Amino acid sequence: MVPLLTKDFQRKTLRPRHRPIVRALAEALFSPDGEASPERLDAFVDEVDAFISPASKTLRFGLVLMLGVLRWSPLLFGKFRLFDSMTVAERIHHLERLDQSKVKQLPLIVVAYKTVMTMLFYEEEQELEGLGYPGYERKRHLMTAASLLKPRPRAPATTASEEASP
């Protein structure tokens, strides 16, 4: 009998060398003025790891490779330091330069991680409240599909002679 193979649901994709890069990126994207606590940023790195770990081996390899490119990318712009050793202001400026780069692959690195990290970061209710999102208080969800599909009354059509008269 062949043993049953199950997925490793406790898999970790990010190694210790990748974690500071993800934390530095999160700090630049979501806490430029120090709004997020260090504990929140450390926990966020675990959330990112848990989110990307169930992905396919190819996708995980690509995401980890992008982190390596991001870490060394300041060298492409003449900065002799790693991404995670830059100050927050320098990281923000560097991400803006990467995002506007003419090399097509560099903006994709920023977009890939910005998309994943933004979805995860703003899943927290406190972060949404900080943006002014009303959360469960919004009333739009109470509208039924039938009320949305009802035809709305139209204004009576005017003729050209009615529009011309004062």
Q: What is the DSSP string of 6-41?
A: ---TT-----TTTHHHHHHHHHHHH-TTS-S-HHHH
Confidence of residue 156 (pLDDT cuts 50, 70, 90): low
Assess whether pLDDT exceeds 70 at residue 135. Answer: no
When comparing pLDDT for 157 and 44, which is higher?
A: 44
Domain boundaries defined on the chain: 19-148
The per-residue pLDDT for 111 is 95
The per-residue pLDDT for 1 is 60
What whole-number distance in Å separates Cα of residue 45 and Cα of residue 19? 7
